[in-house]
Amino acid sequence: MDNSRAFTLDDIAALAELPRRTVRYYIQTGLVDRPQGIGKGAYYTEKHVEQLLLVRKWQLAGLSLERIGEVLKQPSGPLPPAPRRKGTVEVWSHLVVADGVEVTLDPSRAGLSPDKVRAFFRGVAEVFEKLQNGEEEE
Amino acid sequence: MSSSACALKSIQGEQVALTNVSVSAVLHDLLAEVTMCQSYRNEEPVNIEAVYTFPLPVDAVLLDLEVEIGGRVLKGVVVEKKAAEEKYEDAVATGDAAVMLEQLEPGLYTMNVGNLLPSEDARIKYSYSILYRWVGERLRLFIPTTIATRFGDSPHAPHQAPESSLAVENHFSLQMEILGSLKGAQFTCPSHQVSLTRLVDKVVVSLKQEQAAMDRDFILNVKALKASRSFAVCGPDDDGVAAVASFQPFFPGLQQPRPLSLAIVIDCSGSMQGDSIEQAKKALEGIVGSLQPGDRFALIAFGNSTHALWERLNPCTPANREVARQFAKQLAANMGGTEIGKALQTTYELLGDINSADILLVTDGEVSAWQPVAQEVKRAGHRIFTVGVGNAVSEAFVRELASSTGGECELVAPREDMAERVIRHFERMRAPRAKRVVVRWPDGSRDIAPNKLGSVFDGDTVISTARFNRSTIDGPVVLEVETETGETVRQELDISDAPSATTQDRISTVARFAASMRLKDQDAAMGLNTALQYRLVSPWTNWLVIAARPEGYKAQDIPALRKVPQTQAADSVFSGLMNLSRVVPAAAMPPGAMPLERIQRSMPLFSRSATGVSQPAAPSAPSRDIGILELIRAVTEQEWHEISSWAARNGHPDLSQNAVTFRELRRSGRKGWFSETELLLGLSILREAHSLGFQLSDAVLDVARRMNINLDEPINS
């Protein structure tokens, strides 16, 4: 690949059809590499443009920026679960199936729609009910 | 202070660049002027860009921005949004310092502090004015300090989207001076511990502690005499003059109050956990208590899903009220997300084509994408009266829902008098509606704003602004309200010169105020012109300061982004946390005291209505609930009818009425699921009937035996 062409931040923003602030944000959050050189001598290469286009591609595919960061770090193989930042407040759904039986999940991390969550819980409840009824018949 | 030193560092070891916020406010006769100062410091070895999204009152009109950096004080200018963004980017790229203040949505702003060098400080001072919104003899001064976690993805850019962190506690200090006619007023502060000093010429209110955590709205309630509450003032506006009038009409001797058709909608989403849901329950108590015979009502709770107590409006009988009370008692903030749009849709379907039906909505308004919802409600034609609860209410949303439907909004923080506000709402709903509202400005007026006055209620504030091409105004400004019952109320105000220290300005504060009112009615092209001419931040303009650095002092690299997190709103995670953190800063807390790494909210999913799966809500007694459900299911419509008529014959009207309710539930086809309250109520009916001597069917007695439910147990639910 020809990495010799030098671009400014304006150039790569224009090439990727993104606002400058957005490009800067991607660099600040590590989605796109920092420029070569510093100060007035800073420049970007085609690698940066490619990175930008990749982020855009994943975004259009519906991934969050956090998730894109993980995808980019792990280009092949299964994705590791997203690490949680300390101090983050998470909202977990708890379903009490019966006394002593509880299912806990975070639908967004599990990638489940509300409908799927309900279907899942319904299934769990049915299985449990079946087990219970089976015991009673014994 | 040690506490702020602790808050400097987030748990990840990142520095929080915002070190302090100080608030100083002056309350004049007519309006409040609030100056806020955000202090930033870069304690890192690299240059940084601090980005802080923060709330302001919806009615705040930003008047000035001043930045102190590198020993220089620079005044902000208002620049067209795109141009401001470009200039800001240019400055950041060339290594200069830049500060840009932008409005994201009503009540939400972002401060961008670009290129703060290592060990550098920046003090950013901005001030706003706010016109009082009197309600009766009461005024609620409101300074939000944090943005609570909102439901759904933020519609804003990732660097702007507010994020809250339990590991961070921002702090503010506050001092207020009350001058002029308000200094004789009564003050109470339900949100913070304050000290109040009455001097000869003013009253001074300040926080008891030097600083407080930015985890809740600051609220000062003011009660004042009528004389100081209505006014009209004018000030120079270029070659002409601009005027603001604030009316407070009173409708003497209301006639027969209207009976209500009312849908009561309660937010039970996760964000309501803690103080908010307790407040909502308190509100419901007051609401049910304020209903009169002749009213019809329905109760709807929502989160991810919507759960209606009844399928339609029911008459306000003692039995129905009791059912509603029981329903209210079992409500919990356990219904997940805040699907408020869907809940309102269900409510509209339930109300059908009942013309004069109103909606009373209790919510904290914590929804990220609230603007589409606020647009949607305009079409339905039902007035929405909102009660905004919680420690950090989303003011813009709950206000907008009300104002865009002709309703009204009451914000009620924990420890404020809920009953009083609920009663106030009922008075508004029962009052005859205003059919015609006109503000008559003297000759020569133009650009009257708002161009359409919304709802007008007894004792509430009506504001109007106008411009004049001449330098003097002849005559008073008059408000005329004609009600649907034919009464006319008239209020006349003389227009006086606004007391202003900066009378030499060609454009006075009054003129900027009037312009900010016009902005709301204007399209992008006109709005941009107005905002630039009157130096107003708007959807089309930002405040901007560029501080060029001399060669050799410029930043050399793209600054590291340091978003300033929101302090978690009080009580929104679990009760007691905030009591703890008032003493111990979050970051200094031992791990045992608060599991910082992963705090989970226990959120039983309220899935019964959606799935038909009979899940008990309370983990404490699940098996018992399933048993009761079986029992209630075993009672046929016919048997409920028999219980009802037997009870009526034997002198137990309440029991009879309650049994009718269940017969109706059964008839409506509800077999699969009941709310916990309904279950308990159903059980108590069966027990009462049984103990009074009614012979329950064998099928029912059989289930009771099988499920181990003793029908002879004393009734206490």
Sort strands B541-547 and B495-497 into parallel, antiparallel or unpaired: unpaired
Q: What is the DSSP code (8-state) at residue B269?
A: S
Angstrom CA distances, B326 to B284, B309, B681, B714, stand at: 11, 11, 8, 18
Q: Are B414 and B279 in contact (CB under 8 A)?
A: yes
B217 and B337 in a common domain: no
- Of residues A59 and B8, the one with the higher pLDDT is A59
| Shortest CA gap A90–chain B (Å) | 6
Q: Are residues B247 and B287 in the same domain?
A: no
- Give the pLDDT confidence score for residue B619 in this predicted structure: 32
Chain B residue numbers touching A24 (CB-CB < 8 A): 89, 92, 558
Residue B84 in 3-state DSSP?
A: helix
What is the number of domains present in chain B? 4
What's the CATH code of the domain at B509? 2.60.40
Residues of chain B contacting residue A117, judged by C-beta atoms under 8 Å apart: 605
Is the bond preceding B616 in cis, omega lying within 30 degrees of 0? no
Instruction: List the single best residue of A18, A38, A64, A86 to mutate versus B (max B Cβ within 10 A).
Output: A86
The continuous run of DSSP H or E covering B127 comes out as strand B121-131
Decide which of B430, B459, B480 is a domain's last residue.
B430
Cα–Cα dist A71/A69, whole Å: 6
Q: What is the DSSP string of B588-644?
A: GS-TTTS--S-EEE--B---HHHH-----S-TTSHHHHHHHHHHHHHS-HHHHHHHH
Residues B200 and B267 in one domain: no
By Cβ distance, the residue of B164, B568, B613 closest to A121 is B613
- On whether both B459 and B439 belong to a single domain, the answer is yes
In this complex, the residue of A29, A35, A96 whose CB is nearest that of residue B615 is A96
Mean pLDDT of the B523-546 span:
97
Under a CB-based contact definition with an 8 Å cutoff, are residues B17 and B113 in contact? yes
Q: Which residue has the higher pLDDT, B8 or B286?
A: B286
Q: Cβ B603–A94 below 8 Å, yes or no? A: yes
User: Is residue B583 a part of any domain in this protein?
Assistant: no
**Residues of A in Cβ contact (< 8 Å) with B113:** none
Q: Classify residue B430 as exposed, middle or buried by CB count within 10 Å of its CB (0-12, 13-18, 19+).
A: middle
Q: Dihedral of CA B5/B10/B14/B17: which sign?
A: negative
Taking the C-alpha atoms of residue B325 and residue B318, their distance in angstroms, rounded to an integer, is 10
Mean pLDDT of B213-230: 88
Q: Which residues contact A65 (CB under 8 A, 6 or more apart)?
A: A29, A31, A55, A59, B158
Q: Give the number of residues written for chain B.
A: 717
State the average pLDDT over residues B175-192: 91
Token output for B131: 């016109």
* Most confident of the following: A124-128, B151-155, B356-360, B612-616: B356-360
Contact list in A for residue B86 (CB cut-off 8 A) is 20
Of B110, B148, B144, B111, nearest to B130 (Cα)? B144
The mean pLDDT value for B301-308 works out to 92
In a shared domain, residues B346 and B368 = yes
Chain A stretch 41-100, residues whose beta carbon is closer than 8 A to a beta carbon of chain B: 42, 65, 84-99
Which of A25, A68, A93 would best serve as a mutation to test chain B binding (most B beta carbons within 10 A)? A93
Choice between A35 and A135, residue whose per-residue pLDDT is larger? A35
Q: How many cross-chain Cβ pairs, A to B, lie less than 8 Å apart?
A: 124
SS3 state of residue B74: strand
Residues on chain B touching A89 (C-beta within 8 angstroms): 149, 164-166, 568, 573, 599, 601
B190 falls in which pLDDT band (50, 70, 90)?
A: very high
Triad B588, B592, B595: Cα angle to 5°:
80
> For A74-90, b where at least 16 C-beta lie within 10 A, e where not — what string?
eeeeeeeeeeeeebbbe
Q: CA of B164, closest CA in chain A: separation in Å? A: 8
Claim to verify: residue B373 and residue B390 sit in the same structural domain: yes
- The per-residue pLDDT for B611 is 25
Measured in angstroms, the CA of B73 and the nearest CA of chain A are apart by 26
Whether B6 shows a pLDDT value over 60: the answer reads: no
A33 touches chain B (CB under 8 A): no
Q: List the beta bridge partners of residue A94.
A: A104, B604
Range of the domain at B415: 261-430
- Min CA distance, A83 vs chain B (Å)? 12
- The confidence band for B682, taking pLDDT boundaries of 50, 70 and 90, is confident
Residue B623 has pLDDT above 70, yes or no: no
State both tokens at B345: 């849709």
Q: What is the 3-state secondary structure (H, E, C) of B151-219?
A: ECCCCCCCCCCCCEECCCCCEEEEEEEECHHHHHCEEECCCCCEEEEECCCCEEEEECCCCEECCCCEE
B173 in Cβ contact with B211 (< 8 Å): yes
B366, pLDDT greater than 90: yes
Q: Give pLDDT, residue B677.
A: 65
B522 and B451 in one domain?
yes
CA dist list (Å): B244 to B180, B341, B497: 19, 36, 11
Among A32, A94, A124, the residue to mutate for chain B (most B Cβ within 10 A): A94
Both tokens assigned to B192: 């913070």
Please say if the pLDDT value at position B159 is more than 50: yes
Q: Specify the CATH number of the domain A9-73.
A: 1.10.1660.10
Given this model, what pLDDT does residue B425 score?
Answer: 94
Chain-centre distance for alpha carbon A119: 24
Are residues B87 and B139 both part of a single domain? yes
For the cut 50, the answer to whether the pLDDT of residue B573 exceeds it is no
Q: Chain A residues with CB inside 8 Å of B559's CB?
A: 28
Q: Which amino acid does the sequence have at B167? A: A
Average pLDDT for chain B: 85
Asked whether residue B44 is domain-assigned, the answer is: yes
Q: Where are the alpha helices (DSSP H) in B302-435?
A: 318-329, 340-351, 371-380, 395-403, 418-430
Confidence of residue B604 (pLDDT cuts 50, 70, 90): very low
The region of weakest confidence among A27-31, B477-481, B503-507, B684-688 is B503-507
Q: Out of A121-125, B86-90, B235-239, pick the least confident.
A: A121-125
Cβ contact (<8 Å) for A86 and B167? yes
> Strand, coil or helix: what is B9?
strand
Q: Say yes or no to pLDDT of A4 above 70.
A: no
Q: Say which of A35, A65, A125 has its CB closest to residue B615.
A: A125
Is A34 a residue whose pLDDT tops 60?
yes
Inter-chain contact B613–A122, Cβ cutoff 8 Å? yes
Residue B103, H or E segment:
strand B97-105
Please list the residues that pair with B306 across neighbouring strands: B302
Model pLDDT, residue A75:
63
CB B466 within 8 A of CB B447: yes
- My answer on whether B644 and B497 are in the same domain is no
If asked whether residues B385 and B464 sit together in one domain, one would say no
Task: Give the closest residue to B174 by CA, choosing from B320, B48, B25.
Answer: B25
Poorest-pLDDT segment among A83-87, B86-90, B291-295: A83-87
Beta pairing class for B231-237 and B495-497: parallel
Q: Kindly state whether residue B590 falls inside one of the protein's structural domains.
A: no
* Residue at B588 is within a domain: no
Structural domain includes residue B602: no
Nearest Cα residue in chain B from A8: B93
**Among B605, B625, B707, which would you mutate to test the A interface (most chain A Cβ atoms within 10 Å of its Cβ)?**
B605
- Distance from C-alpha of B54 to C-alpha of B102, rounded to nearest angstrom: 10
Which residue in A has a C-alpha nearest to residue B620's C-alpha? A99
Average pLDDT estimate for B222-245: 89
High-pLDDT (> 90) share of chain B, %: 58
Per-residue pLDDT tens for B15-27?
Answer: 689 999 999 999 9
State pLDDT tens for residues B34-64: 999 999 999 999 999 999 999 999 999 999 9
More confident residue, B35 or B167: B35
Average pLDDT over residues B210-228: 88
* N-to-C CA span, chain A: 72
pLDDT of B706 > 50? The answer is yes
**pLDDT surpasses 50 at B289:** yes
Residue B26's nearest CA partner among B190, B196, B176 is B176
- State which residue of chain A sits closest to B595, comparing Cα positions: A87
The confidence band for B589, taking pLDDT boundaries of 50, 70 and 90, is very low
What pLDDT is recorded for position A45? 94
Same domain, yes or no: B365 and B444: no
Question: Of the candidates B611, B535, B696, B562, which has an alpha carbon nearest to the alpha carbon of residue B65?
Answer: B535
Shortest CA gap A27–chain B (Å):
8
Question: DSSP letters along A52-78, please?
Answer: HHHHHHHHHTT--HHHHHHHHH--SSP
Asked whether the beta carbons of B593 and B586 are under 8 A apart, the reply is no
Phi, psi dihedral angles at B655 (to 5 degrees) = -60, -45
User: Is B605 within 8 Å of A97 when comparing Cβ atoms?
Assistant: no
What does the alpha-carbon distance between residue B95 and residue B114 come to, in Å, rounded to a whole number?
A: 9
For chain A, the domains span 9-73, 93-137
| Residue B295, domain CATH | 3.40.50.410
| pTM for this predicted structure | 0.77
Q: What is the pLDDT of residues A85-113, one digit of tens each?
A: 666 666 666 777 777 787 877 776 777 77
User: Could you tell me the sign of the dihedral formed by the alpha carbons of B663, B668, B673, B675, in that order?
Assistant: negative
Same-domain pairing of B503 and B399: no
pLDDT tens, residue by residue, B648-679:
898 888 888 888 878 877 776 555 556 666 77
Say how far apart CA B31 and CA B234 lie, in whole Å.
14
Mean pLDDT of B677-687: 81
Which residues of A fall within a CB distance of 8 Å from B621?
Answer: 99
* % pLDDT > 70, chain B: 86
Tell me the mean pLDDT in the region B575-583. 31
| Closest listed residue to residue B566, CA positions, set A30, A93, A89 | A89
Radius of gyration of chain A (CA): 23
Of B131, B106, B105, B28, the closest CA to residue B464 belongs to: B131
* Rounded Cα distance, B298 and B286, in Å: 15
pLDDT given for residue B514 in this prediction: 96
